[in-house]
């Protein structure tokens, strides 16, 4: 059965999933890139982000790799796609990832402003969904054709699906950095009340990995 999953979403030890003041020079907000030190050197991230062979193996790599296994579609918030706000001025912004994004499957972007689908190299097509989170999920599940759907973020989008108890499984990595401000993933989110429990935890020198499962 298809699952809705969050994978490799990283928090600072003070609970922030992104730093403040996102812009074109700070895709994850000021300081946000430092969250992902555990992931950037892994074999999986080297392959998908940089097109490189090789990379670190071990527990961090195991968690990075699982995030791309059996994924048939993604859901992203507008801010995860780019820094452009309000109505699209034109179609020049095509994402952070160049002509061949990391996804290689359909990606459904939640936005209040319509835009035609954006076909990229490597099998990625961005679809811009203005009808809300439920419609984005239905379309993503249909496109995934029995595979899982991955919610890439950001914080607000994950919160929407958590509060509706729609996420089946969530991998959170806690990185040993402090951001001080930004977006808190668990702000006013009561995981036990929503039926979620921590079913696995593993620590490495660079991160603590937690798996939350809906009971």
pLDDT in tens, 119-141: 999 999 999 999 999 999 999 99
Domains defined for the chain, CATH in brackets: 4-15+28-84+99-214 (3.40.430.10)
The strand pairing partners of 153, in sequence order, are: 76
Do 38 and 207 contact (CB within 8 A), yes or no?
Answer: yes
Residues of the chain with pLDDT under 70: none
Cα dihedral 99→135→150→179 (10° resolution) = 80
pTM of the predicted structure, to 2 decimals: 0.95
What Cα–Cα distance (Å) separates residue 63 from each residue in 59, 127, 148, 214? 6, 27, 16, 19
* Spatial separation of the C-alpha atoms in residues 106 and 114, rounded to whole Å: 17
- Specify the pLDDT at position 114: 97
Structure tokens at 214: 């809906």
* CA distances, 60 to each of 30, 64, 109, 117, 137 (Å): 24, 6, 28, 34, 28
Query: How confident is the prediction for the chain on average, in pLDDT?
Result: 95
């Amino acid at each position: 059965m298809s699952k809705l999953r969050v994978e490799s979403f990283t928090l600072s030890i003070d609970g922030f999933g992104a730093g403040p003041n996102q812009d074109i020079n700070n895709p994850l907000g000021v300081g946000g890139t430092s969250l992902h030190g555990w992931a950037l050197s892994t074999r999986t991230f080297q392959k998908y982000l940089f097109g490189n062979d090789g990379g670190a193996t071990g527990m961090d790599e195991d968690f990075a790799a699982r995030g791309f296994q059996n994924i048939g579609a993604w859901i992203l918030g507008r801010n995860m796609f780019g820094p452009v706000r309000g109505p699209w001025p034109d179609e020049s912004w095509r994402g952070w990832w160049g002509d061949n994004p990391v996804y290689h499957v359909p990606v459904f972007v939640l936005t209040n402003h319509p835009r035609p689908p954006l076909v990229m190299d490597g099998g990625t097509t961005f679809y811009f969904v203005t009808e809300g989170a439920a419609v984005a999920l239905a379309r993503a599940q249909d496109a995934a054709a029995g595979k899982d759907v991955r919610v890439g973020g950001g914080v607000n989008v994950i919160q929407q699906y958590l509060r509706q108890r729609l996420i089946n499984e969530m991998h959170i990595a806690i990185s040993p950095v402090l951001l001080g401000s930004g977006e808190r993933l668990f702000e006013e989110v009561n995981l036990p009340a929503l039926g979620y429990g921590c079913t696995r935890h593993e620590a490495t020198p660079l991160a603590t990995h937690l798996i939350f499962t809906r009971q």
